[in-house]
């Protein structure tokens, strides 16, 4: 059975992606950092419906932890898919943004994705097959006031995606990004109603995206139908950015 690794699979988009890839026949390894119970519930839900999944702890912002995780849990696996989904926000205007808030977002959203991609690529290169999907954001394409750290990390992820796609194509590994717009998850739940309304008004389809709609895009890029697609950024944003 081919394995798919989903970082940050305990909640939101990562949980939906984990369920989708399990339904598509992958043995899913989903990771969490702070919510073991939520992650275990996602894995149990998958196994209860006939799929294969396990939840494991991994702080993707710690390069040594990422290397140890791959050595311990994935060395002998038929790792076919990596979804770099783990992400955080630490919003604030530039003039008041603390160094640690800039660094934390870069470390989880960009450095963590790079180290996971590097370790996964080593396994996939030997097998001469693989699919890597990085979850970026519409904000990495358009910028966003109050999110300089997040937008920089997500734009960096797009550059990483294209560079890795070029490097790994000869080994039959595709690397793509999915760029969600506004998705209803814990990440956006704390926004004020006025901000949510303002977002909805900017979306031509006039509604928020569901985590399952992002998972569908990931499932496509991880599946056989997307074998000739690499280096692309698939916007799933209701027309918010074109
Ligand atoms: P979420 O509900 O806040 O979930 C975040 C996930 O990332 C959780 O599983 C969390 O684990 C994990 N995580 C956080 N820090 C981590 C770390 N240091 N190491 C490993 N895992 C970590 O977020 P979401 O809305 O589903 O977002 C998922 C991805 O989509 C993110 O990359 C986000 O930037 C991107 N995105 C979201 C939206 C949106 O509107 N929601 C839009 C565009 C892009 P625990 O549960 O264990 O804490």
Residue 183, phi then psi, degrees to nearest 5: -115, 135
**3-state DSSP assignment of residue 91:** coil
Confidence at residue 198, expressed as pLDDT on a 0 to 100 scale: 82
Within a domain: residue 50? yes
Q: What pLDDT does 233 receive?
A: 98
pLDDT given at position 147? 96
The C-alpha atoms of residue 199 and residue 241 are separated, in whole angstroms, by 12
**pLDDT value for 118:** 98
Q: Which of 150, 220, 228, 241 is catalytic?
A: 150
- Judge whether 10 lies within some domain: yes
Report the C-alpha gap between 117 and 64 in whole angstroms: 14
Q: Which residues line ligand 1 (CB under 6 A)?
A: 7-8, 10-14, 31-35, 38, 58-61, 85-88, 108, 112, 135, 137, 180, 182-183, 185-188
Contact 20, 42 (CB under 8 A): no
Distance 88 CA to ligand 1 centre (A): 6
Is 150 assigned a catalytic role? yes
The pLDDT score that the predictor gives to residue 108 is: 98
Rounded Cα gap, residues 187 and 71, in angstroms: 31
Distance between CA atoms of 233 and 30, rounded to whole angstroms? 23
Report the CATH number at residue 61.
3.40.50.720
Nearest-angstrom CA–CA distance, 211 and 209: 7
Contact status, residue 119 vs residue 70, Cβ threshold 8 Å: yes
Supply the range of the domain harboring residue 195: 3-236
- According to the model, what pLDDT value does residue 195 have? 80
**Total count of domains within the chain:** 1
Distance CA 227, CA 242 (A): 24
Q: Give 97-119 pLDDT, tens digit per residue.
A: 999 999 999 999 999 999 999 99
Confidence check: pLDDT of 53 > 90: yes
Give the pLDDT confidence of 126-158 residue by residue, as tens digits.
999 999 999 999 999 999 999 999 999 999 999
Residue 75 falls inside a structural domain: yes
Q: Parallel, antiparallel, or unpaired: how do β-strands 173-180 and 130-135 relate?
A: parallel
pLDDT per residue over 173-222, tens digit each?
Answer: 999 999 999 999 999 988 888 888 888 889 999 999 999 999 999 999 99
Assess if residue 166 is contained within a domain: yes
Task: Determine, yes or no, domain membership for 196.
Answer: yes
Residue 241 lies in a domain: no
Query: Mean pLDDT across the chain, nearest whole number?
Result: 97
Please report whether residue 104 resides in a domain: yes
With respect to residue 127, please indicate whether it lies within any of the assigned structural domains: yes
Question: 52 C-alpha vs ligand 1 centroid, how far in Å?
Answer: 22
> Within a 10 A sphere around the Cβ of 51, how many other Cβ atoms?
19
What's the pLDDT tens digit per position in 64-107? Answer: 999 999 999 998 899 999 999 999 999 999 999 999 999 999 99
**Which residue puts its alpha carbon closest to atom 3 of ligand 1?**
187
* Gap from CA of 135 to ligand 1 centroid (Å): 9
């Amino acid at each position: 059975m081919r394995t798919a690794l989903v970082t940050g699979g305990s909640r939101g988009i990562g949980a939906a992606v984990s369920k989708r890839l399990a339904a598509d026949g992958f043995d899913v390894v989903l990771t969490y950092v702070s919510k073991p119970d939520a992650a275990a519930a996602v894995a149990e839900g998958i196994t209860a419906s006939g799929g294969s999944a396990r939840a494991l702890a991994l702080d993707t912002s710690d390069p040594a932890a990422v290397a140890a995780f791959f050595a311990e849990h994935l060395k002998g696996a038929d790792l076919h898919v990596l979804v770099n989904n783990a992400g955080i926000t630490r919003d604030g205007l530039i003039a008041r943004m603390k160094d640690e808030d800039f660094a934390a977002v870069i470390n989880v959203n960009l450095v963590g994705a790079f180290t996971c991609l590097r370790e996964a690529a080593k396994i996939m290169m030997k097998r001469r097959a693989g699919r890597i999907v990085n979850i970026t954001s519409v904000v990495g394409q358009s910028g966003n006031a109050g999110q300089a750290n997040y937008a920089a990390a997500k734009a960096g992820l797009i550059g990483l995606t294209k560079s890795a796609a070029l490097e790994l194509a000869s080994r039959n590994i595709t690397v793509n990004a999915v760029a969600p717009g506004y998705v209803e998850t814990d990440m956006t739940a704390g926004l004020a109603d006025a901000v949510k309304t303002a977002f909805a008004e900017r979306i031509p389809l006039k509604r928020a995206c569901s985590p399952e709609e992002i998972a569908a895009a990931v499932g496509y890029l991880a599946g056989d139908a997307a074998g000739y697609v690499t280096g692309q950024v698939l916007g799933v944003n209701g027309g918010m950015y074109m």
